[in-house]
Structure 1
Amino acid sequence: MDSFCHLIIAQETTTEASWIILIDQGEDTGVPTTNCIQYIIPRICEIFKLKIANLRAFEVWPYHQGGPRLKYTEVVISDISFDDDNERVLRNSWRPTDDQDAKILDQLIETVGDKVIREEV
């Protein structure tokens, strides 16, 4: 089990960038975030034929466990390559989400519904 139990993929109409939104179900629910991102994002790109250059990924989690406010962090992906064992290697870093992107994320999550954050699978 990993810490991200829900996933939203959205297409930005003006730039055609794809947004991947990973919804964290809380602390200590599974593998470290980095491992989850390294596992999920390359596979999403492969399955949905997304170009890494047009991809924006965001982590979403509550500020406080059980609280209504959400915190967003953008995952900045610099490269996906393969190691000697032919396993995917994702190089990434994190940066705070700017105000405009946070508003868009709020709208996307509200549109999908509160169950995305709270519902157990």
Structure 2
Amino acid sequence: MSQALDHVFAALADPTRRSILAMLLEDDMAVTDVAEPFEMSLAAISKHLTILTKAGLISQEKRGRVKWCKLEPNAMKDASVWMQAFGQFEPVNLEAFEKFLETELGDDHGS
């Protein structure tokens, strides 16, 4: 699972790929339609789509002569579960942590 998460987070690290995913939230799209709003070549968009596909975030399928992209609804589930694990911790209270350290280490730590 760790390698799969690495691929998902690496794919999500790029703003162009995040934009593509946001576009695909609306509906399936032809590759040429995905490329339209971006100022880059179709080849560059294809590379982004390949990364998203390898990460399992989208699927691509040929319908006639047109290649379509589809968001995979469960693709981010593992990443989401992983991130939610961090939500169960309280934010660090630095003042309380400092006081704890002073108590534990004594006052001779240079302050």
Does TM, scored on the shorter chain, surpass 0.5? Answer: no
Higher-Rg member (1/2):
2
More strand by share: 1
Q: TM-score, normalised by structure 2?
A: 0.30
Q: TM-score, normalised by structure 1?
A: 0.28
Higher relative contact order (CA 8 A, sep 6+): 2
More helix by share: 2
